[in-house]
Amino acid sequence: MTGVSIKRGRRALPVLLGAGVLIIAFASLLVGSTWLTPGEVLGGLFASGEDINAIIVREIRLPRVLLGLMAGASLGFSGAALQGLLRNPLADPGVIGVSASAGLGAVFAIYFGLSSVFLLAVPLLAMTGALAATLVLFVLASRDASILTLILAGIGINGLAVALTSLVMNFAPTPFSLLDMVMWLLGSLANRSFTDIALAGPFMILGWTLMAGVGQGLSALSLGEETAQTLGVDLRRLRLQVILGTAISVGAAVAVCGTIGFIGLVVPHIMRHFFGHDPRRILLPSALGGAVFLSLADMLTRIPLSGGELRLGVVTAFVGSPVFLWIVIRTREAMR
């Protein structure tokens, strides 16, 4: 049997993923409009001088790379946790309506021209949108609402946010602001600074912290809600942790990066392929995998194109959907 070798491989995989995150992060620091050698990047990172390389690496590339890693980890982690909670491999952080609400906030900020007055208006309003949606979900989840109620509420919130976003875009004051809105919604990590990290970072970390201890509960849920309860799982608490953790971390990620789809859906699937279906065992790998996936996608957006910048959400969807289809076809036997 191959059982032993699989086990050994599985133990090594988180280490490999961790190493992958570091390698991708460094590679990502190398890619940009100015060519820097690996030595120059390292020098720029760690040398004490204030030369041009240091400014490029520390002020321009580092925040972008860090934000990509954090946002990717938020999306991957949330996707895995949400799929575990809903016991549905098709769940995605998008279904609870938080991403769309963040998008609505951003579009509002652009509509009223707040972004030209105050630089952080877009992420701040996006965050407000995400938090408003989170609050609705929180009220529902703490009232002991069923999973189905939460999902339907999420679909409702999502639909409303998308409708309002369309409305705002419909009455966009100028073609330029409409373009701004569309571009924001397509997602990007370009020109992000440590201010964005300071704004969204604490929320992402708060979200991760909320979801940190949910592994066992999610594994127990494999046997259904009643059996999980008889194994000592506090269902209401578990729901609150996952829904709030997802809403807060994904809301914060979307607020500074724009809408980025498919990572929360696809990454847990890829991880299941390597780590098995136990929900607990794919949480950390999905977070690391999400960080790698988003960073790779971000590197692709930095390929210079004549038509302008390739947007991040476009790349993740382009890479994510074929991967998703491939996985669905390969695993349809196992899921039956």
Residues within the interface to other proteins (CB under 8 A):
1, 3, 87, 213, 215-216, 219-224, 226-227, 229-234, 276-279, 334-336
Closest to other proteins by CB, 228 or 253 = 228
For residue 102, the SS3 value is helix
Query: What's the min distance (Å) between Cβ of 230 and other proteins?
Result: 4
Which amino acid does the sequence have at 289? G
Among 286, 262, 314, 215, smallest CA distance to 95 is for 262
Our CB check for other proteins shows the closer of 119 and 223 to be: 223
Q: How far apart are CA 164 and CA 48, in angstroms?
A: 49
Structure tokens at 240: 């609150």
Nearest to other proteins of 87, 302 (CB atom): 87
Nearest of 142, 109, 139 to residue 124 by alpha carbon:
109
Q: Which is nearer to other proteins, 146 or 227 (CB)?
A: 227
Q: Which is nearer to other proteins, 232 or 308 (CB)?
A: 232
Q: Kindly state the tokens that stand for 306.
A: 């004549």
Cα–Cα distance, 237 to 241 (Å, whole number)? 6
Distance CA 254, CA 301 (A): 17
Q: In the structure encoding, which two tokens stand for residue 124, read together?
A: 């701040």
